Copies of this chain bind each other. A is one copy, B any other.
């Protein structure tokens, strides 16, 4: 079950923990501290997150992205609420119903688009329909955007802001699933503030695990009044660590000197290198490569040949009418250009 580090392009979560993160865990491992977040590491995380985002906020560390997303949505949507998202959003497709569980049955309404991005203009019709239907329909409560998207594309701040305007105008909260927020910001070159709260995000799932942490994400409330019930919801979900300093230390290590953005830039650069090489080799990309994911059409014999040499990557469900099969290749903070080159060499020789 162990992959060869040099040959896996399956996901960012096959990576080990960054040495800076492990070092931070070790530094936190001195003496006793109060449990459940009443510790100095968590206190410092609060300050550092405020600085990184340039605003007042509340930051709550949890261990998984699914927990961060589901808790966020539970603070925005009542059980009889509707959450609008892209139909292939992680919250809708890959979390085994976690948002439904945490919200006590709210409905995720998935809207389609070819590039994984939800456009502000897609919201008008479903919001009008809900209005028309009254109590027979779930109540519009939130919009959730994935940044970067499941297709490796990135919303511009203007696009996020357009969605926020529609959402807020109709009384809905705006959640951002930022499991790969760092990759999106690295692509955009904008500040964390510009990419999130200044564009209208109310609650953010801030990703760490895919970006070098052991297991650390955070729910960040830019609209703290939305957090009222968060702490009990987190406890009740078994997501409140007694030894929270070890969660907070991981996030601190990523945030404190910009490591999170350096990691993301590195992974993005490798993805760009890979995409350019694929195109040069005559293969077709399925999506713009803006973060650390490459979606490309690989003829079946090519995939087979690469896998025979030990390379690992996922086949991906292709849109109807696609002739050549689709694959997903993910690059990571811990990879080197040589590993990308090795894959490209294998492709060229196949």
Checking B43, B71, B96, B210 against A136 with a beta-carbon cut-off of 8 angstroms, the contacting residue is B96
Q: Closest chain B residue to A315 by CB distance?
A: B132
Question: A238 contacts which of B1, B22, B62, B231 (Cβ < 8 Å)?
Answer: B62
Number of interface residues, chain A, beta carbon within 8 A: 85
Known contacts A39-B1, A233-B80; is A238 also within 8 Å of B105 by CB? no
Do the beta carbons of B17 and A31 come within 8 Å of each other? no
A177 at the interface (CB under 8 A from B): no
Partner of A137, one of B35, B79, B93: B93
Q: Is the CB of B236 within 8 A of A238?
A: no
Of the listed residues A4, A101, A108, the one surrounded by the most CB atoms of chain B closer than 10 A to its CB is: A101
Which residues of A10-64 have CB atoms within 8 Å of chain B's CB atoms? 10-11, 13-17, 22, 25-26, 29-36, 38-40, 43, 62-64
Which of A17, A64, A80, A107 has its CB near the most chain B CB atoms (within 10 A)?
A80
* A348 CB, min distance to chain B CBs, angstroms: 24
A215 within 8 A of B: yes
Kindly state whether residue A131 has any CB partner on chain B within 8 Å: no
A32 adjacent to B17 (CB under 8 Å): no
Contacts of A3 in B (CB 8 A): 31-34
Binding site for B on A (CB under 8 A): 1-5, 8, 10-11, 13-17, 22, 25-26, 29-36, 38-40, 43, 62-71, 78-80, 93-98, 100-108, 129, 133, 135-139, 209-210, 214-215, 229, 231-243, 246-247, 317, 334
Pairs A–B under 8 Å by Cβ, sample size 25: A1-B33, A1-B39, A1-B43, A2-B31, A2-B33, A3-B32, A10-B34, A16-B32, A36-B135, A64-B238, A79-B97, A79-B100, A79-B236, A95-B236, A96-B138, A96-B235, A97-B106, A98-B237, A101-B105, A104-B104, A129-B317, A136-B235, A138-B232, A209-B243, A215-B242
